[in-house]
Chain A
Amino acid sequence: MSINRRTFLRRAGMLTALGLGGSFVINGAVEAAAEYEPSKKGLFPNAKHLAMVVDMSKFKTEDDFNRVIQSCVSIHNIPDFGKDDLKDEIKWIWSDDYEHTFSGGDNDYLTDDFKKLPFMVACNHCENPPCVKACPTGATFKRPDGIVDMDFHRCIGCRFCMGACPFGARSFNYRDPRPFIKKIDPDYPTRTPGVVEKCIFCVERLADGLMPACVEASKGGLIFGDLDDHTSEVWKIVSSKFTIRRKTELGTQPSVYYLVGGESHA
């Protein structure tokens, strides 16, 4: 009846091996003989550095800004909590004044009018994104085409990325957004409380062969393309005209360029 130590250890070892082997059998069976491939309609399948140029000469009236903002709000199910709850506000693309957009390059002699000048701002899809470094779960990540994308499934709501982003481009869902969405677009998911969100350069539209919604709505005010491709319009503008970027002194290398001189000033 009694077993000696050697037999006991041998049997325990065999049981352990059986257990480990069994888990391999179970996990191995899960993989079906299937493959994955990217969408054939994708607009920029081989892009290395997708970027946007904001031509400020095309943003004159309030409608120019609102049209662009609304095009994003309506397809991404962005809630509107009203003016009284600005701390809960969710922003993907919005307008801010010169003073806050380009803070750092201070010029005391700028007129107040110029300081209040509105600029179109969104996530800069930096080449060195501090939000990606800060994210502990990999929920925000840099795609090979340069877009800083969000995987809402993985976001745990720690908000490290919001502290890391120098552009305030990230918003946190403090409340359930669904009741505050004017009309839910079923083609894009809504978010739940406890999730951070931001502009993703419309990755879902790019995969379907469409330009970002704001680019379409801007009537030429926003130009989108691959900076690595020297035939693209963005490259032509950025390489030949005077453009500025936000907070370059921080070294994040933003991919949103502001064409401030207008078309005529090369």
Chain B
Amino acid sequence: MYKGGKIIAGLIIFVAFLTFPFFYNMGKANAGPDLPTYASSANLQQCVEPAEYMKANHMQLLNQWRNADVRDGQSIYINSQGKSFDISLESCVECHSTQATKNTVGVNNPALKTSDQFCVSCHNYASVEPTCWSCHSGPEGATK
């Protein structure tokens, strides 16, 4: 290979730079998002679908809910276990509302100091900003 030594050395330096963040953080525990305690977590067995499904797919489910309710007039969701739920963000915040004063888990989470909403703890961690609450009422508005 023509000037092989330089090329290989350059490649090694390049790969080292590229993987630097991974090596730098190796062995350090990732704190992860602070999940706030739910208002009614004690008697809460499961969300509308299993927690693993919700973690991965809640955004698609919310989009399906929105289209079903607003466009097709289908306002009841029957989940994979045959249990039915009212399609409404209030169905979510009924359980997923944090009680900031009682919340000790999220004390070190700046998101929870400015907001009372469940979603922000993970969404701030993942740097994804949901726009739901610019129109819909948050947990404080859950009356139904």
Contacts and interface: CB of A to CB of B under 8 A. Distances in A.
Interface of A: 29-30, 32-40, 42, 141, 143-145, 149, 151-153, 184, 186-187, 189-192, 203, 207
Q: Is the interface of A mostly helix, strand, loop or mixed?
A: loop
A206 B57 CA distance: 30
Contact of A38 (B53, B75, B79, B137): B75
Interface in B40-96: 49, 53, 57, 60-61, 66, 68, 70-80, 84, 87
Interface residues of B, number: 29
A36 B137 CA distance: 24
Contacts of A35: 77-78
A38 B135 contact: no
Contact of A189 (B57, B71, B75, B137): B137
A101 B15 CA distance: 73
Given A32-B49, A34-B49, A192-B134, A187 B144 contact: yes
Contacts of A141: 71
Contact of A36 (B57, B76, B143): B76
Contacts, number: 68
- 10 smallest CB-CB distances across A and B, nearest first, come from A186-B141, A186-B137, A36-B74, A189-B135, A33-B80, A39-B75, A35-B78, A36-B68, A30-B60, A189-B136
Contacts of B71: 141, 149, 151
Contacts of B53: 32
A34 B80 contact: yes
A21 B135 CA distance: 38
Given A32-B80, A184-B137, A192-B135, A149 B70 contact: yes
Nearest to A147: B73
B59 to A, nearest CB: 10
A190 B135 contact: yes
Interface centre among B66, B76, B143 (most CB of A within 10 A): B76
Contact of A32 (B61, B136, B140, B142): B61
Contacts of A40: 76
A78 to B, nearest CB: 14
A192 B49 CA distance: 31
A39 B76 contact: yes
A153 B62 CA distance: 12
Contacts of B72: 36
B144 A207 contact: no
A184 B133 CA distance: 13
Nearest to B61: A32
A34 to B, nearest CB: 5
Contacts of A33: 80
Given A32-B79, A187-B143, A189-B136, 15 more contacts: A32-B57, A33-B80, A34-B49, A36-B87, A37-B74, A39-B75, A39-B76, A42-B73, A143-B73, A186-B137, A186-B141, A186-B143, A190-B135, A192-B135, A203-B73
A196 to B, nearest CB: 14
10 contacts: A33-B80, A34-B77, A36-B77, A37-B78, A40-B76, A42-B73, A187-B141, A189-B135, A189-B137, A192-B135
A203 B69 CA distance: 11
Given A32-B61, A187-B144, A189-B137, A38 B73 contact: yes
